[in-house]
Structures are given as C-alpha cells and as structure tokens.
Amino acid sequence: MKKHLWRIIIGTAVFIAAIAVGSDIKWLQIALFAASYIVAGGDVVGKAARNIIRGKVFDENFLMGVATIGAFLIGEYPEGVAVMLFYQLGELFQDYAVDKSRKSIASLMDIRPDYANVKKGDELIKVDPDEVRVGDIIVIKAGEKIPLDARVIEGSSMVDTSALTGESALREVDVGSDILSGCINVNRVITAEVTKEYEESTVSRILDLVENASSKKSKSEQFITKFAGYYTPVVVLVAVFLAFVPPLVINGAAFSEWIYRALSFLVVSCPCALVISIPLSFFGGIGGASRKGVLVKGGNYLEALARTEIMVFDKTGTLTKGVFNVHEIHAEGISAEQLLELAAYAESYSNHPISASLQRAYGKEIDNRRISEVEEISGHGVSATIDGKKVLAGNIKLMDKMNIPCSREELAGTVVHVAVDNVYAGYILIADEIKADSAQAIKELKAADIRQTVMLTGDNRNVGAKVAKELGIDKVYAELLPGDKVEKLEELFSQKSARGKIAFVGDGINDAPVLARADIGIAMGGLGSDAAIEAADVVIMTDEPSKIATAIRVSKKTLRIAYQNIVFAIGIKITVLALSAFGLASMWAAIFADVGVTVIAILNSFGALNVKNL
C-alpha cells in the first residue's frame, strides 16, 4: 500500500511540473505528462495487458487503460493523467476502506478463542482449541476465554457472557455447571472437562452462522449482482456507439469530441460502488446484531425483519417466564400464612408444578408427622388430614363435589381452593410471571412500526386476555392446541400487505412447525439451546423479548443504508453518463462518479456496523 501511495505522490508531482512548464515547450510538457502517467498507471496498463492475454477483457484495468490512453491519443493529456491519478487514489482509498471494514468486522467477531490450556498429568499445555478432544481436562484462568464447551469439575468462578449475549451480565459457575465457549472467565481458576469438540462448540457454531449468513443473500444483494452483470457491458457498448456513430452521422461532428464522451463512459462503467457497499451493509448489520446477542441467519432474513408487519408471540416462555409462582392469597376466616401453610402441606406429596410453587412460596420444611391420610382425587385435587383437621385443596370442581360454597371469581391463572373441615378457607392464585421487559418490548415494536402484535397461547382465555391487556398486545388467541397455532398463523397471512412479513417468536422447542411456517421464525433463549438455534431464522441469545425490537431496528437501519447506497450510486452514475453523452460533463465528473461514489458508499455502509444506540 505504501508503494502505491509513493507512486501517486511522485506521479502527482511530475503532473504538477508538467502543468507548470506550460504548453510553450510542448515536447517537454508531453514528455512529463507521459512520465507521470507511467509512474501512476503503468501497473494498471500492465495488468490490463496480462488479462487480455488470459482472455479476460472487460475488467476495470482494461477499461481504465483504454479510457486514459484514449485521452492521450486525442490530445487530452492532463485529463488522461488526472483520471489515472484519481483512479489510483480512489483504489487506495477503497483498499483502505475495505481493509478497515474487514478489520472492524473481524473485531466484532473476536470471540474466537486462541488457545486452550490442556492438563496432561501435572503439566499444562497450550494447544489450538481444534486439537482438544471430548473428555480432555482444560484449565481456564481468570481473564481467559473459555475455549470449548465444557463442564466444571473443580473450582468456582463468575463468567461473562457478554460476547455471546450482548449483555454484560455475570453468571456464577460451580462444580457441575456447563460452561459455554466464547464466554470469559472473570475471577478464579476453573478446571473443566470438555463436553464438545471445537467444531460443535457454541463459539464455533455462532461464528459459522454469522459468516455463512452472507450466502443467503437479500433481494437487494441479488438485484445488485444482476445489475452489475448487465451494467458494464451495456455502458461499454454505448461508449463504442458514441465514439463512432455520431461523428459519422452528424455533419461536422468532431471525432475527438465524441471519443472524449465515450471515454468518460468507460470511466464510469465499473459497478464497484454497488457491488462492495451493499453486501458490506448487510454483513455489517448481521455482525452488529450478533454483537447485541441477536443472530440473524442471512441477509434475506434481515431484509424480511425490516418488512415485518405482524409480530406473533407464543406466550409461555416467550413473554412470560414459564415459571409458576404464588400471585395472590385470599384467605377467609384464617390468616394468609395459615392458608398457605395448609395448602403447601396438603399438596406436599404431589409432584405437580403447582405443588412446587406452593412449597417455594411457603419456604419452610414440611414436617411429615403433622400430615396423614393423603388422598389424591384425580382431576380435582387432594384431601389430607393436617394437625387432625381434614383439609381439601383443589380446583372449583372439588369444592362443588363436596358442596362447599366458594369464591367464583374468574382469575387469570390456576386457582387452588382450600377448605378446612368442610368450611371454605379461601384460595391461592398461582400464575406465570410476565418477563420484566415484555411490556417495553411491545411498546418498542409499535414504535418501530410493527402494525399488529398477536399472542398465541394454549393457556385459558382469562390468562391470555390478562397478559395481553397488561402488555398492550392487539390480539390474543387462547386455548390453542399445538396444531391450532399453525392454523391461526395461516389466518394472519391474509391480514398483511403483499410485501409485508409475519414473524413468529417462540422458545424454539415446542413450536418448530410455527417457526417454520412464519416468514421469519425467531427463537428466544438461544444460549446453550442447540434446538432453538437450529429451528429459527433469527435467534435471540438471551431471554429478553426487548431484543426483538433491537433486531427490528438494526434491520431497518441496515436496509435504509443499503437503499441509500443503491439510489445514490446508481443515481450519480446515470446522471453523469447522461451528462457526458451530451457533452455536459467532463472526465473529471466521470472519475468522481466512479471512485468518489465508491468511497462514499463504503463509508456510508460502515454505519450499519454501528449498533450501539439501537
């Protein structure tokens, strides 16, 4: 690159000298122009010649060579040299910009571990993560990257998952914990047994995903590739036409004038600006999203995300935590603590999730001596004798069966009614908890122009309606069987516009068919769940629904940048082509339309990498 730069500097100096000499000493000026040209553009002409021998004609070197030599032949010496100088300067800029973007993308994906400390006997050996096998024992010191997925066998520490999730939350690990490659061990040494080879480890899978994402091209990228395929030949053909036809047809037209116009065409004929900047924008967007803990599996999905009109959510595990907790204790005649105690005791023999949440809420040891005659009444609840009193705990059907009048209020969640010696003692409401950022997520999605939010759930109507209302979701379909979810999604397809897309968000485990049917399947909680990563088009590494809004914003920004570049590059090129065809633009404008546009478009696509505030 340095050599390149020196050539441009020397070439420019000689070029200035040639202008300073002036046209008084014609031969000297021409000689200086020629010298400047050879210094600056000799290699371009050389490459062009080599490529022609190889049978490859329409490359940029050839086009530039023809354009500049042509300028010389018609006596436009300064133009010929200047175009070459600017072209080289532009190439230098372009190389620099491409290099810089490659580096910033590389740093974006700098989660690849460089080595693993493998324990062999008493020795620690540094090896390439590739060479470590399942069952090997590795040691991860404080501050080091975890090289492969493993299970801790000694020590405890905190690990930073931010490289994978975009969230700088620390996770505690202990003997028996699974640790994921790509995370950083923060404070203490841990020893672990490798559970997956490098190729199968989390970090390698994520990098693979992001790198391969570019093979699934977006419509804009496909359009540009096609466009580029036609653009150059068409422009060159028009240039040839311009050079020869008008001078022959139009009376008094000078050959040199038309050839000048034709040469300007050749200068603008490379589609580089588009071919570089569009994929760069998409790749930047995908890389930026991965930094935020959102994996997008292809440019096509990023594009679809930006067009999402209807966002469909699964409820449990997506908008809610999927963990059932005691929400409300309504006691009658006894204290709330007593009611909870009785319910916890009565249900203590059951292994139902409801029982688990009661035990959790009660929080004390169950003394088995206080409880006897436990009887499960299938589909209703339990009856047990506690401290000599007969306690019934169960649903409303149980109360009806025993003819005990009870509260009939419709509540969102599972209700456990309790009766002591056949007298109603109140109820305990157990419900799933809404995730902390669910409401925020829905709000942000609406702000990002998602037209409709829909929730699908297998849960009962009350629960569904309550959650939807609390979150501000537009529509809810409740009491659905797994098969019904696909059907409901199909119905929604008729409600979107032709270009709009439907996205479905689920946990990626139970809803694979729905994920597959939607235009974009988004899975939550991808970290450590291979199933979720496999099934979806977009994977949210954490459990936070607000990341979906982040993904939408990244996609919209990326698409905006890509469109800006398309419109700007094609617009300028066509304008300059039209102007030079009519002799209104000089070769100087043409060189701007080629190199200047490329550099500006690349700089613009850098923006897609920047996702800090999204």
Partner 1 sequence: MKKKFILEGLGCANCAAKMEKAIKELDGVREASVNFITTKLIIDGEDEKMPEIIQAAEKIIKKIEPDTVMKKA
Catalogue the active-site residues: 314
Binding window for partner 1 (CB under 8 A); candidates: 271-279, 311-319, 495-503, 562-570: 271-279
Can you tell me which of 29, 36, 68, 101 binds partner 1, judged by CB under 8 A?
101
How many other β-carbons are positioned within 10 Å of the β-carbon of residue 271? 23
Choice from 190, 275, 289, 428 touching partner 1 (CB under 8 A): 275
Asked whether position 10 contacts partner 1 by CB under 8 A, the answer is no
534: CB partners within 8 A, 6+ apart? 508
Q: Which is nearer to partner 1, 231 or 313 (CB)?
A: 231
Task: Return the residues of window 359-398 that contact partner 1 according to CB under 8 A.
Answer: none
CB of 276 to partner 1, least distance (A): 4
Extract the tokens encoding 240: 């040839």
Cα(182)–Cα(115) distance, rounded to whole angstroms? 12
d(Cα 282, Cα 216) in Å, to the nearest integer? 11
Task: Provide the β-strand partners of residue 426.
Answer: 331, 418
Q: Does 609 bind partner 1 (CB under 8 A)?
A: no
Comparing CB distances to partner 1, the nearer of 43 and 167 is 43
Residue 292 Cβ vs partner 1, minimum distance, rounded to whole Å: 19
- Cα distances from 456 to residues 260, 317, 488, 535, in angstroms, run 66, 12, 8, 19
Nearer to partner 1 by Cβ, of 214 and 529: the residue is: 214
Q: What is the x/- site pattern for partner 1, positions 222-241, by CB under 8 A? A: ---x--x-------------
According to the binding rule CB under 8 A, does residue 103 interact with partner 1? no
Q: Which helix (H) or strand (E) holds 391?
A: strand 389-394
Residue 50 interacting with partner 1 (CB under 8 A): yes
Q: How far is the CB of 228 from partner 1 (least distance, A)?
A: 6
Find the binder of partner 1 among 12, 36, 39, 60 (CB under 8 A).
Answer: 60
Q: How far is the CB of 602 from partner 1 (least distance, A)?
A: 10
Report the distance separating Cα 67 and Cα 85, nearest Å. Answer: 13
The verdict on 534 binding partner 1 (CB under 8 A) reads: no
| Candidate residues 32, 64, 184, 272; the one interacting with partner 1 per rule CB under 8 A | 272
Which positions ≥6 away from 59 have C-beta within 8 Å? 47, 48, 51
Rounded CA-CA distance 204/147 in Å is 10
- Note whether 362 and 340 are within 8 A (CB): yes
Backbone phi, then psi, for 206, in 5-degree steps?
Answer: -65, -45
Among 11, 271, 285, 299, binds partner 1 (CB under 8 A): 271
Strand 414-420 to 423-434 pairing: antiparallel
Contacts of 267 (CB under 8 A, 6+ apart): 63, 64, 67, 83, 87, 587, 590, 591, 593, 594
CA separation for the pair 47, 63 (Å, rounded): 11
Is residue 51 close enough to count as binding partner 1 by CB under 8 A? yes
Structure tokens at 221: 């990228």
DSSP letters along 254-270, please? -HHHHHHHHHHHHHH--
CA 137 to centroid of chain Cα atoms? 34
3-state secondary structure of 110: coil
Nearer to partner 1, 3 or 54 (CB): 54
Q: Least CB distance from residue 473 to partner 1, whole Å? A: 39
Q: Which of 168, 215, 251, 494 binds partner 1 (CB under 8 A)?
A: 215
Does position 148 interact with partner 1 (CB under 8 A)? The reply is: no
Q: How many residues bind partner 1 (CB under 8 A)?
A: 28
Nearest to partner 1 of 56, 390 (CB atom): 56
Stretch that binds partner 1, among 155-163, 279-287, 461-469, 513-521 (CB under 8 A): 279-287
Would you count residue 407 as binding partner 1 (CB under 8 A)?
Answer: no
45 sits near partner 1 (criterion: CB under 8 A): no
Binding site residues, partner 1, CB under 8 A: 47, 50-51, 54-56, 59-60, 95, 98, 101-102, 105-106, 211-212, 214-215, 225, 228, 270-272, 275-276, 279-280, 283
